[in-house]
């Protein structure tokens, strides 16, 4: 039984001989000693190392996220949380963020929430020491957690996760001539490559996908499901709401969405483990079903563009531009990047999860 909400263990590679040296060497030795490893173990080890050793965000890093594009993103998400909290009767609450990156979203959200009289203490679920330090520089008063288990259990939770679930390890099943196989990662010399492992029982394949052609791939995200269930249990027991933003689809579906990004360009996901960001599209339907199985209410997915428009991004952009007319063009460009369907507006989507009795969050009606 995994620990509550435990997503990635950085010591997934248990053989002693595999714990020394650089990550690619350790993975290669682990595979030589123990045989090919599940894709989820490869992805977990790669991302744990990747995030533990750098701040990947921004123009000089590997990728840019919505809160790093404009303060408007965090402000509007914060206002939506404050509005839910207000309509729920203003219970004692904590602000919780999963994978807060540089702390930018949290700083913007908490500043906007304070204007709406919501001043919850900040709790961050973050495993990377480098990013914890960046978060502490923005929000020195926050409390940090390795997973959900240590979050406060006696107050409502106002939860945000932006581009967090896409970083959690996925498993893949690949259809062979004789049925479905778990996808494993093998190592030839220093090259990592996916191979088909043991056959899995047909019963675990969603009936709608059973007839897929040879070569088809199905993804599952056991770590994300475990975490969502733990989060939903907390919301149901303590009250609260979570807004989760990511890119994804409503599964189950056929498709290989594992991707690597390095220096703002796509890379081979099996190259240089630990040196590039590995992500997979989030299956919103499965996450919603997991939350509902714990008794929580869910809404969405709604397109990020529609959500931000409903939350008033245009009014916010206009008010910021009035105060800083020289920033008008920059604000218009940021608004466009966050909202336009051909930019982030449609690719990124949001789902909300809440305790029964909590109101429909703004923008999800
Ligand atoms: N939300 C931020 C950062 C997104 S990057 C933004 O929008 O800018 C992903 C974040 O999740 C990083 O902070 C990373 O360190 C964290 N993270 C990744 N896997 C994690 C895990 N298993 N447990 C906790 N944090 C994790």
> For 318-351, what is each residue's pLDDT tens digit?
999 999 999 999 999 999 999 999 999 999 999 9
Report the C-alpha gap between 317 and 267 in whole angstroms. 35
Q: What's the whole-number average pLDDT of the chain?
A: 94
**Which candidate, 100, 9, 43, places its Cα nearest to that of 260?**
43
Q: Are residues 153 and 234 in contact, defined by beta-carbon separation less than 8 angstroms? A: yes
Q: Which of 67, 12, 17, 76 is nearest to 44 (CA)?
A: 12
Widest Cα–Cα separation across the chain: 65
Q: Return the structure tokens found at 138.
A: 């923005």
Does the structure show a pLDDT above 50 at 7? no
- Residue 12 has a pLDDT of 46
Identify the burial level of 100 via C-beta atoms within 10 angstroms of its C-beta, where 0-12 means exposed, 13-18 middle and 19 or more buried: buried
48 CA distance to ligand 1 middle (Å): 10
Average pLDDT of the segment spanning 247-265 = 95
Is a pLDDT exceeding 80 seen at residue 224?
Answer: yes
pTM exceeds 0.85, yes or no: yes
Angstrom distance (rounded) from CA 215 to CA 224: 25
Q: What is the rounded CA–CA span in Å between residue 132 and residue 73?
A: 21
The residue assigned the tokens 């991004």 is 313
Please tell me the distance between residue 125's alpha carbon and the centre of ligand 1 in angstroms: 8
Residue pointed to by tokens 């959690």: 168
Residue nearest to atom 5 of ligand 1 (CA): 101
CA of 246 from ligand 1 middle (Å) equals 12
User: Closest Cα partner for 72 from 60, 62, 63, 80?
Assistant: 80
Nearest residue CA, atom 3 of ligand 1?
101
- In this predicted model, what pLDDT tens digit does every residue of 75-84 receive, in sequence order? 999 999 999 9
Nearest CA to 96 out of 114, 73, 78 is that of 78
The neighbouring-strand residues paired with 37 are: 185
Sorting pLDDT into bands at 50, 70 and 90, what band is 9? very low
Give Cα separations from 195 to 177, 254, 284 (angstroms).
14, 18, 27
The DSSP symbol for 341 reads T
If we measure between CA atoms, which residue out of 319, 347, 344, 345 comes closest to residue 331?
Answer: 319
Q: DSSP string of 30-48?
A: HHHHH--EEHHHHHHHHHH
pLDDT of residue 274: 96
Find tokens 């995200």 and name the residue: 221
pLDDT confidence tier of residue 228, bands split at 50, 70 and 90: very high
Task: Answer yes or no: is the C-beta of 167 below 6 A from any ligand 1 atom.
Answer: yes
> Which residues are 193's β-sheet partners?
186
> How many angstroms separate the alpha carbon of residue 161 from the centre of ligand 1?
8
Beta strands 156-162 and 93-98, pairing class: parallel
Q: What is the pLDDT of residues 158-177, one digit of tens each?
A: 999 999 999 999 999 999 99
Residues 311 and 308: their CA atoms lie apart, in Å, by: 5
Q: Which atom of ligand 1 is nearest to the CA of 223?
A: 22
The confidence band for 20, taking pLDDT boundaries of 50, 70 and 90, is low
């Amino acid at each position: 039984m995994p620990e509550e909400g435990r997503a990635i263990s950085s010591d997934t590679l248990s053989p002693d001989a595999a714990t020394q040296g650089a990550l690619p060497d350790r993975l290669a030795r682990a595979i030589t000693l123990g045989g090919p490893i599940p894709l989820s173990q490869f992805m977990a080890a790669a991302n744990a190392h990747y995030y533990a050793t750098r701040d990947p965000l921004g123009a000089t890093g590997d990728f840019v996220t919505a809160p790093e594009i404009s303060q408007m993103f965090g402000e509007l998400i914060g206002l939506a949380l404050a509005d839910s909290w207000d309509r729920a009767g203003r219970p004692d609450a904590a602000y919780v963020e999963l994978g807060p990156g540089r702390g930018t979203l949290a700083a913007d959200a908490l500043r906007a929430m304070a204007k709406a009289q919501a001043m919850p203490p900040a709790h961050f679920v973050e495993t990377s020491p480098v990013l914890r330090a960046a978060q502490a520089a923005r929000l020195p008063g926050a409390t940090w957690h390795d997973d959900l288990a240590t979050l406060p259990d006696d107050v409502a939770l106002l939860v945000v996760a932006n581009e967090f679930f896409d970083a959690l390890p996925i498993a893949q099943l690949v259809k062979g001539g004789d049925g479905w196989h778990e996808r494993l990662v093998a190592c030839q010399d220093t090259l990592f490559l996916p191979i088909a492992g043991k056959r899995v029982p047909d019963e675990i394949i969603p009936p709608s996908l059973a007839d897929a052609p040879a070569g088809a791939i199905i993804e599952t995200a056991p770590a994300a499901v475990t975490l969502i269930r733990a989060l939903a249990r907390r919301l149901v027991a303590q009250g609260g709401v979570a807004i989760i933003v990511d890119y994804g689809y409503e599964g189950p579906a056929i498709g290989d969405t594992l991707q690597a990004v390095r220096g703002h360009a796509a890379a081979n996901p099996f190259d240089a483990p630990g040196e590039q960001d590995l992500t997979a599209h989030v299956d919103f339907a499965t996450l919603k079903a997991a939350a509902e199985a714990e008794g929580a209410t869910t809404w969405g997915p709604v397109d990020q563009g529609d959500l931000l428009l409903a939350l008033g991004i245009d009014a916010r952009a206009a008010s910021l531009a009035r105060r800083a007319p020289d920033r008008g063009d920059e604000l218009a460009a940021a608004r466009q990047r966050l909202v336009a369907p051909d930019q982030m507006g449609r690719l990124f989507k949001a789902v909300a999860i809440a305790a029964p009795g909590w109101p429909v969050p703004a923008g999800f009606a």
